[in-house]
């Protein structure tokens, strides 16, 4: 056994993983260069070698979960490319107005048919809200309504949807709560789809960066967009949201987040899936909102995202015979790894999904109503 293989085997054994073992979370290695590559490039090498067929695993999600729970990645000293990437995050604003288009061009501008093949009818590319064993479509509808209820939406409200995706939440809110919605986005493919899907509803979709906002709204919602804002821009984002919100308004922010503040993002995700992305910590969100907003509610839906991703992956597998006419096997392995590794990360609770409700001066609460049914004796004994 080579030194590299012996070292990787020892790290994996600590996580309960056996190379070429019998369990569904054990990896089957097909190329001996795998070990040197993983030791040199860590997460990037692990994902790229999977894309290239150097290893397989019956349950990639459980493999990743075990690696993360054991914090195996902290025990491997990375190569120079890892440190160069982290250093560049310190000095450059990867989510500047110019650079922010990269993720839209590389990821969100892929053929809409790809996304529609695994998403629900409301095209929700974010965490669903599972409660009682319902389907993905039902759970996504529950998430849409949960957001509307947290915002206390009424038909008189003008609503801003920052990073509206394919416009699913805007359509749901307008149709079911009667409000008018402005959705802003910088992805041309999504904008075209959203405009067509929202015809006949009080929904307007505009190609606009959040930094170009100059109007005020009764409610603001942003779902799955804050991951692309970048930590250097968090305060600017919050200041713009504050400026754009009416004094008695409510702002709901939904974002994936990390348990710890870290200098950079996962190198494989940043290269192949979400370039220039960055997951915030709770501390970073709180600091960015400090002095601007009252924190009304902080809800962790992280466990629901694992199930959402597994549903997406199952739908993706069913659609692959049709999608394979457009995409090659390497693309499929990339998407398999993306969906399953993220599911594993949520299962390990390495990353979270937060819904944060913010207001400018506090949301008034209804007055306390005395309980007329209580007797004097019951009241005295309370």
Q: Among positive and negative, which fits the CA dihedral 73, 77, 81, 87? A: positive
Higher pLDDT, 367 or 200: 200
Q: Identify whether residues 72 and 210 lie together within a single domain.
A: no
**Is 234 contained in some domain?**
yes
* pLDDT at residue 208 greater than cutoff 70: yes
Q: Identify whether residues 63 and 117 lie together within a single domain.
A: no
Q: Identify whether residues 158 and 277 lie together within a single domain.
A: yes
Q: What is the pLDDT of residue 381?
A: 52
Q: Identify whether residues 164 and 278 lie together within a single domain.
A: yes
Higher pLDDT, 59 or 90: 59
**Is 89 contained in some domain?**
no
Distance between CA atoms of residues 144 and 256, nearest Å: 17
Of the candidates 355, 378, 116, 172, the residue with the CA atom closest to the CA atom of residue 251? 355
Average pLDDT for 258-280: 92
**Is 250 contained in some domain?**
yes
**Is 333 contained in some domain?**
no
Q: Identify whether residues 51 and 157 lie together within a single domain.
A: no
**Is 379 contained in some domain?**
no
Q: Identify whether residues 59 and 151 lie together within a single domain.
A: no
Q: Is 218 helix (H, G, I), strand (E, B) or coil?
A: strand
The residue from 57, 127, 342, 368 that is catalytic is 342
Q: Identify whether residues 187 and 280 lie together within a single domain.
A: yes
**Is 331 contained in some domain?**
no
Of the candidates 127, 100, 162, 93, the residue with the CA atom closest to the CA atom of residue 342? 127
**Is 96 contained in some domain?**
no
- State yes or no: is 342 an active-site residue: yes
Q: Identify whether residues 222 and 125 lie together within a single domain.
A: yes
Of the candidates 282, 286, 343, the residue with the CA atom closest to the CA atom of residue 312? 343
Q: Identify whether residues 120 and 267 lie together within a single domain.
A: yes
pTM value is 0.89
Report residue 278 as tokens: 């960055």
DSSP 3-state percent helix, strand, coil across the chain (nearest 5)? 50, 15, 35
Q: What is the pLDDT of residue 85?
A: 47
Q: At how many degrees (to 10) do helices 60-69 and 302-323 cross?
A: 150
**Is 318 contained in some domain?**
no
Q: What is the pLDDT of residues 113-153, one digit of tens each?
A: 999 999 999 999 999 999 988 999 999 999 999 999 999 99
Q: Identify whether residues 38 and 175 lie together within a single domain.
A: no
- Segment holding 240, helix H or strand E: helix 234-244
Contact assessment for residue 109 and residue 188, using Cβ atoms and an 8 Å cutoff:
yes
Of the candidates 132, 57, 71, 16, the residue with the CA atom closest to the CA atom of residue 349? 71
* pLDDT at residue 11 greater than cutoff 50: yes
Which of 46, 78, 110 corresponds to the end of one domain?
78
- Domain housing 19: 3-78
Q: Identify whether residues 73 and 144 lie together within a single domain.
A: no
Q: What is the pLDDT of residue 82?
A: 44
Contact assessment for residue 196 and residue 205, using Cβ atoms and an 8 Å cutoff:
no
R_g over Cα of the chain: 23
Number of domains in the chain: 2
* pLDDT at residue 367 greater than cutoff 80: no
Q: What is the pLDDT of residues 165-197, one digit of tens each?
A: 999 999 999 999 999 999 999 999 999 999 999
Higher pLDDT, 81 or 47: 47
Q: Identify whether residues 277 and 158 lie together within a single domain.
A: yes
* pLDDT at residue 353 greater than cutoff 90: yes
């Amino acid at each position: 056994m080579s030194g590299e293989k012996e070292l990787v085997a020892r790290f994996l054994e600590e996580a309960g993983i056996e190379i070429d073992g019998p369990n569904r979370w054990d990896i089957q290695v097909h190329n001996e260069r795998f070990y040197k590559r993983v030791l040199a490039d860590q997460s990037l090498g692990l994902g790229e070698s999977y894309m290239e067929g150097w290893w397989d695993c019956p349950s990639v999600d459980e493999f990743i979960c075990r690696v993360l729970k054991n914090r195996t990645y902290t025990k491997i000293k990375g190569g120079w490319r890892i440190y160069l990437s982290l250093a560049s995050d310190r000095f450059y604003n990867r989510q500047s107005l110019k650079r922010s288009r990269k993720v839209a061009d590389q990821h969100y501008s892929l053929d809409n048919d790809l996304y529609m093949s695994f998403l629900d009818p409301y095209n929700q590319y974010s965490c669903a809200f599972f409660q009682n064993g319902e389907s993905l479509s039902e759970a996504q509808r529950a998430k849409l309504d949960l957001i509307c209820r947290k915002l206390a939406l009424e038909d008189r409200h003008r609503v801003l949807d920052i990073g509206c995706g394919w416009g699913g939440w805007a359509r749901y809110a307008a149709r079911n709560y009667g409000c008018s919605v402005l959705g802003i986005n910088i992805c041309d493919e999504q904008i075209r789809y959203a405009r067509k899907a929202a015809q006949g509803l009080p929904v307007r979709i505009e190609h606009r960066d959040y930094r170009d906002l100059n109007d005020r709204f009764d409610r603001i919602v942003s779902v799955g967009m804050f991951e692309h804002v970048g930590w250097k821009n968090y305060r600017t984002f919050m200041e713009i949201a504050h400026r754009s919100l009416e004094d008695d308004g409510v702002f709901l922010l939904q974002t994936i987040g990390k348990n710890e503040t870290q200098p950079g993002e996962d190198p494989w995700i940043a290269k192949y899936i979400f370039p220039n992305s960055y997951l915030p910590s709770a501390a970073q969100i709180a600091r960015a909102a400090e002095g601007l907003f009252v924190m009304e509610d902080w809800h962790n839906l992280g466990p629901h995202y694992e199930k959402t991703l597994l549903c997406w992956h199952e739908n993706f597998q069913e659609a692959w015979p049709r999608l394979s006419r457009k995409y090659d096997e390497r693309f499929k392995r990339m998407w398999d790894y993306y969906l399953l590794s993220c599911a594993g990360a949520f299962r390990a609770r390495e990353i979270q999904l937060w819904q944060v409700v913010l207001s400018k001066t506090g949301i008034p609460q209804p007055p306390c109503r005395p309980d007329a049914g209580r007797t004097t004796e019951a009241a005295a004994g309370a």
